[in-house]
Structure 1
Amino acid sequence: MPHNNLPHSEMVTKSEEVRKVWTPELYAYIVSLFPTPERYATLHNRFESSLTGYLKGIPEQVKECEDARMELNKAITAINGLSKAVNHLDPSIAAAFKVTKPATTSTPSVMGTAEDFKIHFDKSGKPYCSFTKFAGAGGYEVWYCVGDPSVEENWQFLTWSTNCQGIYLTGLDRTKTNYIKLRGKRGNSTFGAWSNLAILPPV
């Protein structure tokens, strides 16, 4: 039941519950969670400066750009949430941030697959894979196999990523030949077709 529909006696009880929790310490902590203008500027600059390396496909910069975007997105979400929360007190704040409901987009019912899945090596010799982003996937699962790749039981999950460039293949036994493949994933139970096999030779 909305608070403005509560009888006066129940409203007093509800307000007392809030009063006990809404301490100066909790208020200060909640405020500290929101990025200051200076902190937000730092996050923005970090993401902007890493974008050039991402577009060039430099592995280290690809990861830096993805990490920077994640942190920036958290800050934007917090700021937008705050502006929505105070909208009933001052609508001009939400209007200043141009807060709107996210546009709904239809998700393709058929998920694509990575047709150009390849393994590369960075300057230090560490292997990473890349492919062209395809429709319908919310992220990508990378699997590996050190035995016969035609035997399904030999395959094991390696890593998960929302990025299609610069996915590092760590934790593998490099003294053996590793077969690598991936598939798209949407939600917890929807999977796409497997990509082509990529071979990581032993060293």
Structure 2
Amino acid sequence: MGKKASGSNDEEMIRATGDLIVTLGKDPSILEDIYSLMPNLGKFQSVYDRHRNVFNEVLGGNHAKEQELQTVRDEVNSQVGMLHGLAVLVADTDPSIALRLGVAQPPITKRTLTYYHLTSPDNFKLVYKDHLLIARANAVKGAKSYEVWFCEGDPRVESSWRHLTTSTRVNRIVLTGLTPGVVYYFRIRAISAHGEGPWSNFINMMAI
């Protein structure tokens, strides 16, 4: 019975592989399309340059670019995630690829935890000063910038939240683009070169 089952599995695999070869032979563009989506150095350089440029524009006060910044973040995550996924996929054949990329992480030590781990910003608060709504919090060690997100709906629903602004300063972040008379919820997190930290508590304030 065991041999029969094994033979049956082989026959099914051979049939499926044969069908795949026929399909690819009839439409070679399938593989070409797959290859075109694969990450490469040119794509990484392009998305890196765009991310850096848009981020600097937002930091310079161009709030119209904030949605584009979120889009380019998604592109970076997609390219990096695809490359890391491929490295893990071929690890059985060549484990050195994942190691060379740094996907296979070394054991975490106290030193690496101190370097990579971001905490949530403490003492997050909102104040009105000179007719401006200002967010502030305690600085987070290792942070390069800070993101403030807001929502008008239920703050317990993640999809309700939207990016409002990014700042390299945490002691004075001016919040603009809000509708007077509307009560908003706000939260903040630290950002480093290695990713995002956890969110602070959320607080609410009416825009005036």
SS of the residue corresponding to residue 87 of structure 1 reads coil
Cα distance per residue 1:120-161 (max 9 Å; x no partner): xxxxxxxx99776999xxx955117xxxxxxx9xxxxx9532
Counterparts of residues 79-158 of structure 1 (less than 5 Å) = 79-100=83-104, 115-116=125-126, 140=149, 142-143=151-152
Counterparts of residues 5-44 of structure 1 (less than 5 Å) = 7-21=6-20, 23=24, 24-44=28-48
Q: Which whole-Å CA distance do the structure 1 matches of 2:134 and 2:86 have between them?
A: 39
Q: Which whole-Å CA distance do the structure 1 matches of 2:16 and 2:8 have between them?
A: 13
Cα distance per residue 1:39-85 (max 9 Å; x no partner): 22111111122333344454234444333222111111111111222
Are 2:190 and 1:180 equivalent residues in the alignment?
no
SS of the residue corresponding to residue 152 of structure 2 reads strand
- Cα distance, 1:19 vs. partner? 3.9
Q: State the aligned residue count.
A: 163
Question: Normalising by the residue count of structure 2, what TM-score does the alignment of the two structures yield?
Answer: 0.53
- Summarize the Cα distance change of 1:161–1:199 in structure 2 as closer, same or farther, 3 Å threshold: closer
Greater helix proportion: 2
- Cα distance, 1:10 vs. partner? 0.5
AA matched with 1:14: M
RMSD: 4.8
SS of the residue corresponding to residue 39 of structure 2 reads coil
Task: Name 1:189's counterpart in structure 2.
Answer: none
SS of the residue corresponding to residue 197 of structure 1 reads strand
Q: Which whole-Å CA distance do the structure 2 matches of 1:8 and 1:131 have between them?
A: 68
Q: Does the Cα contact within 8 Å between 1:114 and 1:183 map onto a contact in 2?
A: no
Q: Does the Cα contact within 8 Å between 2:66 and 2:165 map onto a contact in 1?
A: no
AA matched with 1:11: D
- Summarize the Cα distance change of 1:13–1:132 in structure 2 as closer, same or farther, 3 Å threshold: farther
